[in-house]
Amino acid sequence: MEWDLSDHYHAIDDPNIKRDREKSLKLATKLKSDYKDTPVAKLNADQVRDILERLAEIDEIETKLMVYSSLIFKKNTQSEEASKLLSLNRQYSTKLTELTMWFSLQWKALTDEASSNLIQHPSLSPYANYLHNLRKYSKYTLGEAEEQVINKLSPVGYPTLSKIYEEVTSRIQAKIKIDGKTKLLSIEELRNILSHHPDRQLRKRAFNALSKEIKSQIRLFSSILNSKLLSSKIHNELRGFDSTLQKALLNYEIDAKALDVLRTVVSENYDIVQDFYKMKSQLTGIKKLTEVDRYSAIYQVKSRKKITFQKAKEIILSCLDEFDPEISKAANQFFEKKYIDSTLNPGKSPGAFCMLNRPSSHPFIFVNYKNELSDVATLAHEIGHGIHAHLSKVQNVYNFYPSTAIAEIASTFCERLVLEKLIQEIDDKKVKTNIWAESISSSFATIFRQMTFFEFEKELNDLSQNGEITVEQFNSLYNKHSEKMFGNSLSLSKNHSMAWALIAHFFKYDYYVFTYSFGELLSLSLFNKYKSEGSAFVKKYKNLLSSGGSKPPIKLLSELGFDISSKSFWQEGMDLLRKQVEDFKKLNQNTKQTHNI
């Protein structure tokens, strides 16, 4: 399936693209002109509301333009036309920000008393959380002249290097011999072999081939990531942030205490991972598991069943329909109206994501579907994001986007619904074992591995304060944190140490990685509530998702009875995961294997 983007624009050269850019710039110019003689400090609540509503109209057009150009580029990062459109729209977005930033700057400059009086006015109640969040940045905001300089330089700053990173990684291909024939495979195709192919020797060859290609570009990847770290350091110094982490937590609306508790609980439960892989070693007869065995099947089922995209659709919608027909109906629209791009194409960006878009429109889902079970889980994950966006459409644009801290709840919950259903419906012990092991490994990747990414990223930010980081340091730190997770249950090679170079989140965001751990453990707790409460839970869950970003995450979750600053809360999620591993071991306790996978 490929996207139908015609409800945005019909083609890269659609004249409406230019018209919309011009229209929004005119709207922004008019807004600034209308209020240029009246400082925000002298405005009443109705005037502030007028400004916010007009800014929302401008944002509506900008988002439409940026979503379209980003999706076209992701579809084919090698297209010069797509690259040019994205660059033009980024320049336009910078110009738009130049015309509209006056309001946020003046709002942040208000006294606490003045801003509080306005926020409490009934006419501004729909925007209260947004206006409150803006105030949090008051002490980190520079003067208008300085902010304009930073804004003007943004199109040629780190975002450009991030774009180069995408172009380079999407071009990576490696030669590998399969069934006597030499084939040229993309990153996604190589990752598929690494995760699923039953031939262990082929997995090793795929891993070595991919490692060779990474090594050929490793200096470039090092330079790009060093540039990102340096950019963050400079911005932190200019704005007065103590660290990039402080800035990220402010953006995510999460306090450091909750994160520290989560980090502690994850590190204290590494034995769950190690226990599972020791069991996997016994079942497979492989004395020394390596990185190529992390996600591989335990049993060589003779005919590994491929799951077509159509079948994946049926599985996901069936699971969602059992949970809630309204949610299933919303998800079906993603398929019927072609909001999903699943086809493998040359130049297509690796990975998967859901572009939330804007409340007046609909999300777009991006996957590289290869007919594997893990692809069903990935598709379910991204559809979960799409459902979150669909339910939060009741919010205005300022409250539409959920905090990054809880953005992974719906995705991991949807994924869990699908995987549990698959496990329950299978009678064949070997197939059940494989799917169960894959589900557990997926949870490990989301909870534990993503937190090792966080620890790696944190150490990089600390280390970068003293200058550029070498490739050797990147590699050493990456394996160091990964080894803490696996202990002696799995051995990581020297080539594995370069895998950081293909973790796109390091190159695009600050500390986004920990939100996967956050979301997965929350999802486990939510799933446990669903099992105990049944249909009574569904309404609470939908209310949570439909709240979007209208309330801080701590408040939203406290309304469900969750205290994310409590160690016992996070440990509850870990205990559920531990039980899954124990149940998995009981299923296979009398089984012995001697074959290599």
- Candidate CATH numbers 1.10.760.10, 1.20.1250.20, 1.10.1370.40, 1.10.3720.10; the one for domain 309-442+514-552: 1.10.1370.40
Residues 6+ apart with CB under 8 A from 536: none
pLDDT at position 242? 96
Q: Which two tokens stand for residue 206?
A: 């795929």
The yes/no answer on whether domain 15-156 falls in CATH 3.40.1160.10 is: no
Nearest alpha carbon to residue 358 among 86, 58, 75, 103 = 58
Find where tokens 């007869």 sit: 285
Tell me the C-alpha distance between 464 and 218, whole Å.
18
- Break the chain into its structural domains and give their ranges: 15-156, 309-442+514-552
Answer yes or no: same fold for 15-156 and 309-442+514-552. Answer: no
Burial status of residue 175 (CB atoms within 10 A of its CB: 0-12, 13-18, 19 or more): exposed
pLDDT in 10s for each residue of the chain, 597 residues: 999 999 999 999 999 999 999 999 999 999 999 998 899 999 999 999 999 999 999 999 999 999 999 999 999 999 999 999 999 999 999 999 999 999 999 999 999 999 999 999 999 999 999 999 999 999 999 999 999 999 988 888 788 888 899 999 989 999 999 988 999 999 888 988 998 888 999 999 999 999 999 999 999 999 999 999 999 999 999 999 999 999 999 999 898 999 999 999 999 999 999 999 999 999 999 999 999 999 998 988 765 678 899 999 999 999 999 999 999 999 999 999 999 999 988 889 988 999 999 999 999 999 999 998 889 999 999 999 999 999 999 999 999 999 888 898 999 999 989 988 888 878 888 888 888 898 899 899 999 999 999 999 999 999 999 999 999 999 999 999 999 999 999 999 999 999 999 999 999 999 999 999 998 999 888 888 898 898 899 999 999 999 999 998 989 999 888 898 999 999 999 999 999 999 999 888 766 554 444
- If DSSP codes are grouped into helix, strand and coil, which group holds residue 414? helix
